[in-house]
Amino acid sequence: MHNEECLDKIVKNVIDSNHFVSPITIKRWLDTMKNSNDKIYVTNRILTGLLEKNNLYMQGTIPYIQEVINNEIKNLKNEKSELETLATVDSLTGLFNRRRCVENLNRELKRSAREKKPLSVIMCDLDHFKSINDTYGHDAGDSVLKTISGVAKNNFRGTDILCRIGGEEFFIILPNTAKTNAIYVADRLRRNIEKQPIKIDSQDKPIYITTSIGIYQIGENETVETIMKNADLRLYNAKKSGRNKVCSE
């Protein structure tokens, strides 16, 4: 980022010019700035200065400067959107991360209470995932996570909220869903994962994996902490009962 003295010098060169400074020259100065905030600062200052001083030499440049400002504001919005995505989405799977999971769960919890509609959650963990990393390497583990995430995306409604909250742990929020229906979709997910071939680069044949799933229908006066705890308890019971199971108690 340029310091203010440097930016002000660029502004002064244009505003006080007693001859025409072409848009190409201004663009060359602006191209030295990698930061959109700097460009907006400079172009706004130039535009204001030209209008105040009524610099006749530079009147033809004003539309160009206005265009630069509009483009840089658009770039800033895009950068902000990308940063927000990075802050809330797991880069490997494209699912929401733990932070956004908590935010969404809080929101759906309030909606469920307000509309008096059922809300259920699914917590699932890939069985023996560590052995895949240990045997085939972390790239293979990443392939497993991406493949299983794709299976999960195809398993749920558009209103359901899919999150990756840990290494091989996933959390799905099911608005307007009672436990009975949650059990049905969870077992469908379990079966689809079990039969999904996973291609990894180091192996000629695909590998397979299973998942253990805990289901919890949210009651009254719940918090995110109690919901996570109850879902995790049911996941533990699914693993304890032999893995590749769905447990709602």
Number of domains in the chain: 2
Whether 168 is catalytic: yes
**pLDDT at residue 91 in the model:** 87
Contacts 24+ apart (CB under 8 A), 125-129: 125/168, 125/169, 125/170, 125/211, 125/212, 125/235, 125/239, 126/168, 126/209, 126/210, 126/211, 127/209, 127/210, 127/211, 127/212, 127/239, 127/243, 127/244, 128/209, 128/243, 129/167, 129/168, 129/209
- Which tokens is 227 given? 């919901």
Asked whether residue 93 is domain-assigned, the answer is no
List the domain range (segments joined by +) for residue 17: 4-86
**pLDDT at residue 1 in the model:** 43
Indicate if 118 and 233 belong to the same structural domain: yes
Question: Could you tell me the CATH number of the domain that includes residue 132?
Answer: 3.30.70.270
Catalytic residue among 4, 52, 67, 168: 168
Question: Are the CB atoms for 175 and 108 separated by under 8 Å?
Answer: yes
Q: Helical H runs in the chain?
A: 4-15, 23-31, 36-53, 62-88, 98-115, 129-136, 138-155, 179-194, 224-240
Residues in the chain with pLDDT < 50? 1-2, 56-57
Asked whether residue 71 is domain-assigned, the answer is yes
- Whether the full predicted model's pTM is greater than 0.75, yes or no, is no
pLDDT digit string, tens, across residues 42-58:
666 666 665 555 554 45
